């Protein structure tokens, strides 16, 4: 079994952390000594992280219940993120990548003299911004079509510290057909959970061109059990794409109205829909 590994770029500007399926890129800006210290803290926090998660995995694969409260700090972040969405089916696993990013970002931020930083956990990104600072986040909807769809500039004053993308092409399963849903929210964990839920609702129930299989047929340990996950999407008409996107936009608007997310960008085929607060309207753009 391989353990956690860390490496920096030759110039020391970025830190790469990997253990099992977790692959993080960390970059911080500040005094050189401060950055090095921050990377040391990230590495210290990272090393036991996967083992902590694994210890609670069976519970984290079930919807949060009243009785059980996870003990690990990443697990608690996951549970807290999905509690924001009590009326939808979701397990803490929907927020695992974002929660890991938040956890490491907090370790980076604690005690350092940094101007800004990010922790990118395979597309689920936690941000650290001090007053006056901002970060640009590029939106790439589909991994094999690597065009930069747009760019979100997140400023210190924005109520956003997490950016997360979910959809059919990632590592996890989706109940919907969205190619990608990117969500900007207060934390990466919540953005992760919200993106998963919105992507699930971008859908055309019963459509013959959409092939679905029970998740457990593909992955015995999945948190989705025997729920039907999207295996393949055939040709859709423009009207069908619009209808599917509208369902997702409605879900995103509900979340935004409840103050759960800041903005969402939904992609299906060549179509893109945006849900955004006025504050972020200028930030999320083509």
Partner 1 sequence: MTSEPASDAVVCDACPIRCVIKPGRTGSCDRYGNVDGALARLDPLLVLERTQERGGALVPFAARQSDWDGEIVQGADVVVTGAGSGTTYPDYKPAPFIVSSSVAGVDTVTVVTEAIFSYCGVDVKIDTDRHVGAERRLVRARGEAVGHVTTGQYGSQMLSLGGVNHLTGGSKREGMATMRTLLALCSREPVELAVDEGSELVLQAGEPPVINGVVEERMRVGCGSATIGMFAQQWYEHVDEVVVVDDHITGVLSEHQAGRYLDIPATGIRVKGRRSTPGRYFNVAHPGTGWGGTDIEDPLTILDGFDPEVAHPGLTVLMIGTTGEHHAYFVLDDELRPVPAPLPDDLRLSVERITENCEPALTSVLFIAGAGGSLRAGATENPVALTRAVRQMITRVTCGGAPVYVWPGGGITFMVDVTLVPPGAFGYVPTPALVAPLEFTMGRDAYAALGGHMDAIVSLDDVLARPDLRRG
Write out the residues near partner 1 by the rule CB under 8 A.
1-2, 5, 7-10, 14, 16, 18-21, 50-51, 54, 57-58, 143-147, 171, 217-221
For the bound state, the minimum distance from the C-beta of residue 93 to partner 1, rounded and expressed in Å, comes to 10
Q: Given the complex with partner 1, which of 9 and 226 has the nearer CB atom?
A: 9
Beta pairing, strands 5-8 & 14-19? antiparallel
Question: In angstroms, rounded to a whole number, what is the distance separating the alpha carbons of residues 103 and 109?
Answer: 10
**Between 218 and 281, whose beta carbon lies closer to partner 1?**
218
The tokens of 143 are what?
């991994």
Nearer to partner 1 by Cβ, of 51 and 113: the residue is 51
CB of 272 to partner 1, least distance (A): 15
User: CB of residue 219 vs partner 1: minimum separation in angstroms?
Assistant: 7
Choose between 113 and 232: whose C-beta lies nearer to partner 1: 232
Cβ-proximal residues to 31 (8 Å cutoff; 6+ apart), any chain: 113
- Cβ at position 73, least distance to partner 1 in Å: 17
From CA 137, how far away is CA 133, in angstroms rounded?
13
Structure tokens at 35: 């950055």
CA dist., res. 253 & res. 257, Å (int): 6
By beta-carbon proximity to partner 1, the closer residue of 111 and 214 is 214
In angstroms, rounded to a whole number, what is the distance separating the alpha carbons of residues 61 and 67?
15
Task: Output the smallest distance, CB 57 to partner 1, in A.
Answer: 7
């Amino acid at each position: 079994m391989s353990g956690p590994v860390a490496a920096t770029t030759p110039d020391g500007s970025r830190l790469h952390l990997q253990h099992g399926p977790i692959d993080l890129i960390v970059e911080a800006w500040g005094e050189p000594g401060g950055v090095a210290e921050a990377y040391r803290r990230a590495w210290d926090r990272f090393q036991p992280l996967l083992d902590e998660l694994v210890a609670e995995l069976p519970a984290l694969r079930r919807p949060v219940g009243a009785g059980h409260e996870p003990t690990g700090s990443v697990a608690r972040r996951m549970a807290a993120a999905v509690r924001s969405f009590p009326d939808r089916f979701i397990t803490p696993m929907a927020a695992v990548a974002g929660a890991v990013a938040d956890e490491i970002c907090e370790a980076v931020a604690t005690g350092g003299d940094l101007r800004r930083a990010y922790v990118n956990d395979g597309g689920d990104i936690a941000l650290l911004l001090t007053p006056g600072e901002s970060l640009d986040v590029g939106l790439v909807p589909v991994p094999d079509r690597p065009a930069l769809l747009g760019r979100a500039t997140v400023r210190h004053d924005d109520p956003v510290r997490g950016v997360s993308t979910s959809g059919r092409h990632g590592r996890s399963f989706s109940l919907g057909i969205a190619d990608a849903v990117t969500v900007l929210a207060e934390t990466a964990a919540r953005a992760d959970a919200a993106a998963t839920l919105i992507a699930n609702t971008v859908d055309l129930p019963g459509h013959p061109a959409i092939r679905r299989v029970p998740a457990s047929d593909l992955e015995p340990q999945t948190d989705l059990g025997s729920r039907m996950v999207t295996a393949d999407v055939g040709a859709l008409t423009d009207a069908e794409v619009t209808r599917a996107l509208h369902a997702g936009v409605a879900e995103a608007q509900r979340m935004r109205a409840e103050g759960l997310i800041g903005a969402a960008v939904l992609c299906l085929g060549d179509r893109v829909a945006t849900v955004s607060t006025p504050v972020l309207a200028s930030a999320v753009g083509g």
